[in-house]
Amino acid sequence: MADSERIKQILFFLSPALALVVVFYIIPLILAVYLGFTPLRDWNLKAYMGKFTTQSYEYLFYLVTHDPDVSKVVKTTIVFTSATLIVNVLGGLLLALAAFFMEESVSLTYRSLWLLPRLTPVAVYSLLWYYFFLGSGEGTLNSLLLRLGLIDHPIAWGTDPSLQPAGTWLILIVVNGFVGVSFGMIIFYSALKSIPREQIIAARIDGANTFQLIRRILLPQIRWHLVYVTIWQLLSLLTTFAHIFLLTEWGVVDRWWGTTWALYVFNEAFSAGEQGVAAAAATILVAIGAVLGLLSLRLLGFKKMMQEPRGEI
């Protein structure tokens, strides 16, 4: 087939997706980097878009080095991202394995239940957890523990200074974990399901126990999925803030220990009206995300795992 014909065909298939990517990712990204160098505030695009300045970066640098609370944001971002990543990947894996070894009807119920948080509107989801972790005796967790006699006075999980930052981080990890594990669970479960049954049966006949079965047979088969989920979740966690936002605003967690860099960007852009600073902060985040993403792609051997396309003639 002629080369130009091939290219036309490829473009036919790729152009809608590429057009969306160009208009809604690439141009905005360039523009966002540019906006980080403007004094844009109060959304006043007309007045500030033509002015060049590095003040937003200087401002951010000054804040990070001088304001102890802003350095809390940096610490929270690192801890939150890595801890939640581990919870999401391992939790997803354990859930998928549990679901795999269970009878289908029970497994289906659990898998459905764990998918629910992902499908819940953020404001509603936050409201539910807000009351769950409320620091007074009215909070669901406190009232439960009080009733069971495990504690004798309500604990302010996210706001008691002696429990911070651990308490706040724990809440953030739990709230995001319940949303995040479902992603890994779905992918790992379907991957486990597609492992040829003969291999499992053979291992069982050879006398392998469940633990050995998991380590020797199952895990190696879904290695690729583990890599994919890890990278994907890492990047997600670095940039999401939706589930944290309202918990912090409503004060069930400490304000500074409960703010990640992405949330900081959002607050600067939408509450403080400092879109220039927000764009600069976001640019830094994009750079970190891209570097981390590329590094993990390389380190985890992504390239080797990409098979050549089939069906090419």
Query: Minimal distance in Å, beta carbon 62 to another protein?
Result: 5
Altogether, the residues listed in the chain come to a count of: 313
Query: Minimal distance in Å, beta carbon 153 to another protein?
Result: 12
- Residue placing its CB nearer to another protein in the complex, 82 or 190: 190
- Residue placing its CB nearer to another protein in the complex, 79 or 300: 300
Report whether 239 contacts 91 (CB < 8 A): no
Q: State the SS3 of the chain.
A: CCHHHHHHHHHHHHHHHHHHHHHHHHHHHHHHHHHCCCCCCCCCHHHHCCCCCCHHHHHHHHHHHHCHHHHHHHHHHHHHHHHHHHHHHHHHHHHHHHHHHCCHHHHHHHHHHHHHHHHCCHHHHHHHHHHHCCCCCCCHHHHHHHHHCCCCCCCCCCCCHHHCCHHHHHHHHHHHHHHHHHHHHHHHHHHHHCCCHHHHHHHHHCCCCHHHHHHHHHHHHCHHHHHHHHHHHHHHHHHCCHHHHHHHHCCCCCCCCCCCHHHHHHHHHHCCCCHHHHHHHHHHHHHHHHHHHHHHHHHCCHHHHCCCCCCCC
Query: Minimal distance in Å, beta carbon 267 to another protein?
Result: 10
Query: Minimal distance in Å, beta carbon 79 to another protein?
Result: 19
For 275, half-sphere exposure in the C-beta direction (CA atoms, 13 angstrom radius) is 16
- Residue placing its CB nearer to another protein in the complex, 83 or 284: 284
C-alpha–C-alpha distance, residues 247 and 76, integer Å:
15
Where do we find the tokens 């350095």?
Answer: 71
- Residue placing its CB nearer to another protein in the complex, 86 or 115: 115
- Residue placing its CB nearer to another protein in the complex, 79 or 203: 203
- Residue placing its CB nearer to another protein in the complex, 83 or 138: 138
Query: Minimal distance in Å, beta carbon 31 to another protein?
Result: 4
- Residue placing its CB nearer to another protein in the complex, 69 or 166: 69
Query: Minimal distance in Å, beta carbon 93 to another protein?
Result: 14
